Amino acid sequence: MQALNEKLKQEFGIDFKDKTLLETAFTHTSYANEHRLLNISHNERLEFLGDAVLQLLISQYLFKKYPKKPEGDLSKMRSMIVREESLAGFSRYCGFDAYIKLGNGEEKSGGRHRDTILGDLFEAFLGALLMDQGVEAVNAFLNKVMIPQVEKGNFERVKDYKTTLQELLQGQGDVSIDYRVSNESGPAHAKVFEVTVFVNDEAKSKGIGKSKKLAEQDAAKNALDALQ
């Protein structure tokens, strides 16, 4: 963690007071499970906290930047910004992927490159930063790392995957699109949902996510990929 701490200081001006929080943020459940005798904490609780503060600060950013946009548009824009793929990209952009502690099995199966793990890592880091230095420090970090990248995108016309799929299929005729939960797994505080998208009652693709909405977006994205 010393190398990570130095990186944070040099690149982002962040110096954690409580190094244990930082280490926990970068510890995946697979690593903690493989070292149970050491009673190591993993990052799921910090991820929960980071998700909440990220939603708040991005909502605040969009509310101020687009004073005339209705709630529905703001929600779609926020969903695109904080979706799993985006957060994984920010983890890579910050170089966080090199520092996460994974179990041997997860490492061998490519977990270090998996969007789910890296997106959760980014949120866990935000949660740790919130606990260590407060919401202003998190906001400053997002303004330095995330917001400039967000503003390079054209978020005036952004659409979510579900809307894009619906518009594409409706352009081909009268169709019905339905999203159904096909599986739920994990503990109550960290559920993973699997959703299947049906077009005219025919299963087209599946998606997974930490909420039903995220799983639906993933299913729609996979359906779009299959159609292209």
Q: For residue 140, what pLDDT is reported?
A: 96
What range defines the domain where residue 218 resides?
Answer: 161-227
Q: For residue 214, what pLDDT is reported?
A: 75
Q: Please say if the pLDDT value at position 156 is more than 60.
A: no
Q: Could you confirm whether 85 is annotated as catalytic?
A: no
pLDDT digits (tens, 9 = 90+) for 130-148: 999 999 999 999 999 889 8
Structure tokens at 220: 């729609």
Residue 216 Cα distances to 90, 162, 202, 224, angstroms: 22, 7, 16, 12
Structure tokens at 166: 């619906």
Residue 10 sits in the same domain as residue 107: yes
Residue 54 Cα distances to 48, 105, 126, 134, 147, angstroms: 10, 30, 8, 13, 12
Check 23, 44, 84, 123 and give the catalytic one: 123
What residues form DSSP beta bridges with 185?
Answer: 192
Residue 43 sits in the same domain as residue 61: yes
Q: What percentage of the chain has pLDDT greater than the value 90? A: 58
Mean pLDDT, rounded, of the chain: 89
Residue 114 sits in the same domain as residue 67: yes
Task: With CA atoms as reference, report the closest residue to 90 among 156, 143, 166, 154.
Answer: 143
Check 23, 51, 84, 132 and give the catalytic one: 51
Q: With 0-12 CB in 10 A as exposed, 13-18 as middle and 19+ as buried, what is 74?
A: middle
Length of the chain: 228
Residue 80 sits in the same domain as residue 123: yes
pLDDT digits (tens, 9 = 90+) for 10-52: 889 999 999 999 999 999 999 999 988 888 999 999 999 999 9
Residue 90 sits in the same domain as residue 176: no
Final residue in a domain of this structure, among 152, 175, 190: 152
Residue 24 sits in the same domain as residue 88: yes
Determine the average pLDDT of the residues in 99-119. Answer: 92
Q: Could you confirm whether 123 is annotated as catalytic?
A: yes
Q: For residue 157, what pLDDT is reported?
A: 40
Coil, strand or helix at 173:
coil
pLDDT digits (tens, 9 = 90+) for 55-70: 999 999 999 999 999 9
Residue 57 sits in the same domain as residue 122: yes
Q: With 0-12 CB in 10 A as exposed, 13-18 as middle and 19+ as buried, what is 65?
A: middle
